[in-house]
Amino acid sequence: MKSVFRLTCLGALGFAIAVCGWGQSSPDQASAEPQKTNQEEKQTSPDNASAEPQKTKQKEKQTRTPGKEMGKGGEDIGKGVAKGTGDLAKGTAGGVGELARGNVGSAGASFGKGVAGLGKNVTVGTAKGVGKIGKGVGGEFKKLGGKSKKKDETGSGAPG
């Protein structure tokens, strides 16, 4: 009886985690469509034929600011958690289905696959996100170091 209660609680926990992960929406999904249509309009008009290659060169040269880089790192961590939660939910649902049929071994295997997917996606997302956050923090220190040198050169020179 205790094992049935534990499995029920574990299934409810997995479902709760899955609902939280699926409830988060990506802001890029809504804004992706209008940008594509604007680019298509630029490509179809003959007036902008010479201006288009210049804009793409500028976009390639632009790098993200340190703050945006850290934001993208947080986004990657969130994506990893969301994907992992989805995998956990699939494994939990498959395990519950197998358990309802009486296949205890298959239920454990399905749940194990879900947990492995959760671990993989959370680890990958966290690693990517922490890397981007570190890059952003390094960029902030670099900016801070550049500002302090400029102040030293202009204002704090020795009287002579």
The domains of the chain are located at: 66-154
> Can you state the angle between helices 2-23 and 66-101, rounded to 10 degrees?
140
> What is the per-residue pLDDT across 109-151, written as a single tens digit (0 to 9) for each?
999 999 999 999 999 999 999 999 999 898 888 888 876 555 5
Alpha carbon 47 to its chain's center: 38
> What is the per-residue pLDDT across 11-59, written as a single tens digit (0 to 9) for each?
777 766 765 555 555 555 444 444 444 545 555 555 555 555 555 665 5
> What is the per-residue pLDDT across 57-75, written as a single tens digit (0 to 9) for each?
655 656 778 888 889 899 9
- Distance between CA atoms of residues 150 and 76, nearest Å: 35
Q: Is the pTM of this model over 0.75?
A: no
The structure tokens 């492995």 sit at: 116
The residues, ordered by sequence, that sit 6+ positions from 152 with a Cβ below 8 Å of its Cβ are none
Structural contact between residues 156 and 112, judged by C-beta atoms closer than 8 angstroms: no
